[in-house]
Amino acid sequence: MELAKHALKLNAVTFSPDNPYTWASGYKMPIYNDNRLLLSDPAIRKLVVSELVKLLQVNNIKADCIGGVPTAGLPWAASLADALFLPLIYVRDEPKKHGLQKQIEGKIEPGMEVVLVEDVISTGGSAAKAVPVVREAGAKCSTVLGIFSYGFKEATDKFDSVGAKIYSALTYQDLLTAAIETGYVSKENLKTLEEWQKSPFTWGMGR
């Protein structure tokens, strides 16, 4: 809950049900997340990393290496790897078209358990795509940590299809609870936001 309140205070997450945002995907959505703002405050960076460490500990998740998903997941992956004193890699969206044409940057050893770190998990496309890339390199990968997750079923289904699980430091429900407690959203807007999450990709049609 502490992280949720910080995110709202910094406007790292904003709500606008009456004047929806247009996401990069083109969908109209009543919420927008900009976790890059969390990077600006060293105390909040430390809090985020501690929450990620806690997720690993509480869920008994083994990690031999931390992997970042470009681009917004990279600073968080680096911070987590430093906190755990573990190797760091990052997985490109596609192989480089020059040089050694690598898709994975950094040293990866066969059999090591790689935990991927993503910034925001919406549909889960980028991180889910990275999972098989890590496995093709001979490592294991079954866990993706997110700073924030919208909790979309589409994302869960996508990770299920590649045999991986999502764990998030901050969930959509955490945000709603904090937003109500702090008066950030009205009860009327809360109803709209709850309706949106049930059908996010059709909610904004005609708006």
Element (H, E) at 199: none
Q: Tell me, what's the pLDDT at 85? A: 98
Q: Residue 53, Cβ neighbours under 10 Å: how many?
A: 16
pLDDT band at 207 (very low <50, low <70, confident <90, very high): low
Q: Tell me, what's the pLDDT at 110? A: 94
- Weakest mean pLDDT among 83-87, 103-107, 197-201: 197-201
pLDDT band at 100 (very low <50, low <70, confident <90, very high): low
Across the range 119-134, mean pLDDT stands at 89
pLDDT band at 105 (very low <50, low <70, confident <90, very high): very high
Q: Is the pTM of this model over 0.75?
A: yes
* Contact residues for 163 (Cβ-Cβ < 8 A; gap 6+): 131, 142
Which amino acid does the sequence have at 71?
Answer: T
Q: For each of the domains in the chain, give its residue range(s) and CATH number, in order of start.
A: 2-197 (3.40.50.2020)
Element (H, E) at 119: strand 113-121
Dmax over CA atoms of the chain, in Å, equals 55
| Residue from 155, 179, 170, 148 nearest 17 by CA | 179
